[in-house]
């Protein structure tokens, strides 16, 4: 644990090996293949200039398969230590590089560059559903960019299937070039401090059916008890205790006021 944290602080990323079983990765990979060609889920598919295929919000397409990853204990333990305050899920998607493109578009996932680790606003957890190899488009990072350096090398993150790669949101990175054409799925969960606006509104997009499948911890990480009050006379605080989240969907609308 301490090792992961010191590596995250020093290098801007760390790799937790064997975080998810190989068997589970095989099941996830097969499900992602299925979603990626399904007509029903067409609206969740996004192709980034033929560079990568993204399946957006897969946690809500198949909650019983993906929601456990959102609240993976190994991830949450590290998030607790980095943020030292409440955080929520900002974005959750699956991604696969689909070409050997020419130029990297190095970028950060947090909304602003921060060079002080203690002020980290975003942490990204990347589950390697397949092996991340030198030729199949493993994520690349710009070394030391989380400390403001522009002189570091571009480095490929090589990791085994079932590993979780944690990255600070302000570490420059990009999806890798898929040279050998082999499949390389990853699931990417983005977390941010509770007061940062998340990429997706997982509270208002949650259906009754999905709500019924969520644990209280999952509801908390999705931000159900971190929404701003609608008005002063209805409620005074944004953050509430997780115990106050209603178990029944029919009481949710009133709770969110």
**Residues lying near Fe ion in the complex (CB under 5 A):** 109
Least distance to Fe ion from the beta carbon of 140, Å? Answer: 11
Report the residue closest to Fe ion, judged by CB.
109
Least distance to Fe ion from the beta carbon of 168, Å? Answer: 12
Among 87, 86, 105, residue whose Cα is nearest residue 97: 105
Least distance to Fe ion from the beta carbon of 173, Å? Answer: 6
Q: Please identify, using beta-carbon distances, which residue of 31 and 109 lies nearer to Fe ion.
A: 109
Q: Please identify, using beta-carbon distances, which residue of 126 and 218 lies nearer to Fe ion.
A: 126
Token pair 């301490």 is found at: 2
Least distance to Fe ion from the beta carbon of 15, Å? Answer: 17
Q: Please identify, using beta-carbon distances, which residue of 55 and 226 lies nearer to Fe ion.
A: 55
Given a contact cutoff of 8 angstroms between Cβ atoms, the answer to whether 89 and 191 are in contact is: yes
Q: Please identify, using beta-carbon distances, which residue of 88 and 168 lies nearer to Fe ion.
A: 168
Least distance to Fe ion from the beta carbon of 28, Å? Answer: 20
Least distance to Fe ion from the beta carbon of 74, Å? Answer: 21
Q: According to the 3-state scheme, what is the secondary structure of 191-233?
A: EEECCCCCCCCCCCCCCHHHHCCCCHHHHHHHCCCCCCCCCCC
Q: Please identify, using beta-carbon distances, which residue of 190 and 202 lies nearer to Fe ion.
A: 190
Question: 121-153 b/e with 16+ CB inside 10 Å = b?
Answer: bbbbbbbbbbbbbeebbbbbbbbbbbbeeeeee
């Amino acid at each position: 644990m301490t090792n992961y944290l010191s590596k995250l602080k020093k290098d801007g990323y760390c790799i937790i090996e064997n975080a998810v079983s190989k068997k589970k990765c095989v099941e996830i990979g097969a499900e992602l293949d299925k979603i990626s060609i399904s007509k029903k889920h067409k609206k969740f598919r996004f192709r980034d200039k033929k560079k990568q295929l993204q399946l957006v919000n897969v946690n809500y397409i198949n909650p019983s398969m993906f929601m456990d990853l959102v609240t993976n204990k190994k991830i949450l333990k590290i998030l607790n230590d980095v943020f030292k305050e409440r955080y929520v899920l900002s974005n959750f998607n699956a991604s696969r590089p689909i070409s050997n493109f020419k130029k990297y578009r190095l970028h950060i996932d947090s909304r602003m560059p921060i060079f002080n680790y203690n002020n980290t606003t975003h942490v990204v957890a990347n589950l390697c559903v397949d092996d991340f190899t030198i030729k199949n488009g493993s994520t690349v990072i710009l070394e030391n960019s989380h400390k403001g350096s522009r002189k570091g090398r571009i480095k490929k993150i090589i990791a085994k299937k079932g590993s979780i790669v944690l990255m600070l949101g302000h570490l420059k990175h990009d999806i890798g070039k898929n040279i050998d054409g082999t499949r390389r799925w990853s699931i990417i969960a983005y977390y941010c401090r509770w007061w940062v606006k998340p990429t997706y509104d997982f509270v208002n997009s949650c259906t009754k059916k999905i709500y019924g499948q969520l644990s209280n911890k999952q509801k908390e990480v999705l931000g159900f008890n971190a929404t701003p009050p609608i008005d002063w006379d209805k409620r005074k605080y944004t953050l509430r205790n997780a115990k106050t989240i209603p178990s029944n969907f029919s009481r949710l609308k009133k709770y969110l006021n």
